[in-house]
Chain A
């Protein structure tokens, strides 16, 4: 049994932890609000762009196919862009996406895997165990702006055209609701040709203005940029949502612990009083008898 003094001390420290988790919850909630509207707004743009590009990809005759659409399966190198958080305390958020990535790597052991990390946690995990980390952006995920995405995208496209790697995948956490987010991966290069309504296309060939090649030349980098940026936004939103939920749970748990400790504190105090009373009474009785 702990003494009343010790119990009081732990109540005090748990209260201060509770205050911190509560503050973190509020911070996460306000950030979530900011980024959530942005992610939902830009989703329409990204989806439409993907749609236009996959129409474009499927309507070009294969003999005229642009190098960016052609499969380069002969190059056994897969590049992975992994987006994680910089900090923990957000439930299973980091672990889920890291495990999804690790599983993918295990399934593709025949290829050389090169990792590009945005976010500290992913880098921390994959820096052990002999993975090739090609690049790590030590800046905050939050501050990873569109200009940086642009540079990264153009480097990736150049590398792909030069035949440095055969596939490019991006691993991120897709935001659904504030309680739901799922680790997801997209193959960015070569572009996936699914989700194409072939029926509609069959109606007639597309007219390209000025030319299919030039549109690809301009649309493609934009597509990669918006995809990567969208993935970062999705991940950020999921991270804040996850952190908020984790912190709400932590605050609740701290409250429960405080309640429990208060009860045992009262019990301990009562016991000391009873003990002291018993001592006084037995002392008095001894005097009367004597």
Chain B
């Protein structure tokens, strides 16, 4: 059996996931990366995207993360994120509506901050939809 490590996915509301797993794939701000057991110590910033966890039984669980941070230290991985949606719990209608309103806001192109906000909202909605449609 492959070597395993511990992972915790935590939001301010709850501990979303806490288990021993084989591998994870996360989307860092510099591109996506995989983590296996005995990974070097690392602290990375995450972008809005999908976190894939492959547990000891080779089953995969996927989460949509809204940015965050990951720390890897001695086979303990901590993922800190503001919001986290589990695969299968995506409200598709809501995500669609959010996508539409974000796209509309982007067309108007307001000031720099507003544009960034709309971009972020669009990315969030897209990630959720990607998670829902696989």
Contacts and interface: CB of A to CB of B under 8 A. Distances in A.
Contacts of B73: 55, 200
A251 to B, nearest CB: 34
Interface string A92-111: 00000000000000000000
A209 to B, nearest CB: 4
Q: How large is the interface on A (under 10, 10 to 19, 20 to 34, 35 or more residues)?
A: 20 to 34
Contacts of A210: 28-30, 44-45
A52 B43 contact: yes
Interface of B is mostly: strand
A218 B40 CA distance: 22
Contact of A48 (B10, B30, B44): B10
B48 to A, nearest CB: 14
A55 B40 contact: no
A209 B12 CA distance: 23
Q: How large is the interface on B (under 10, 10 to 19, 20 to 34, 35 or more residues)?
A: 20 to 34
Interface string A34-67: 0000100110111011011001100000000000
Interface in B16-41: 28-30, 33, 40-41
Contacts, number: 74
B54 to A, nearest CB: 21
Contacts of B15: 41, 44
A200 B80 contact: no
Given A206-B42, A209-B29, A209-B44, A45 B11 contact: yes
A45 B15 CA distance: 8
Contacts of B30: 209-210
A214 B29 CA distance: 11
A216 B8 CA distance: 21
Contact of A204 (B13, B41, B69, B71): B41
B14 interface: yes
Contact of B45 (A44, A51, A215): A215
Contacts of B12: 41-42, 45-46, 226
Closest A-B pairs by Cβ, 9 of them: A209-B44, A207-B42, A52-B71, A45-B12, A42-B12, A206-B41, A41-B14, A45-B10, A200-B74
20 contacts: A41-B14, A44-B15, A45-B10, A45-B11, A48-B80, A51-B78, A55-B71, A55-B73, A204-B41, A206-B41, A206-B43, A207-B40, A207-B41, A207-B44, A208-B42, A209-B42, A210-B29, A215-B45, A218-B69, A219-B69
Interface of A: 38, 41-42, 44-46, 48-49, 51-52, 55-56, 200-201, 203-210, 212, 214-215, 218-219, 226
Interface of B: 8, 10-15, 28-30, 33, 40-45, 69, 71, 73-74, 78, 80
Given A55-B73, A209-B28, A209-B43, 5 more contacts: A41-B15, A44-B14, A209-B42, A210-B45, A215-B43
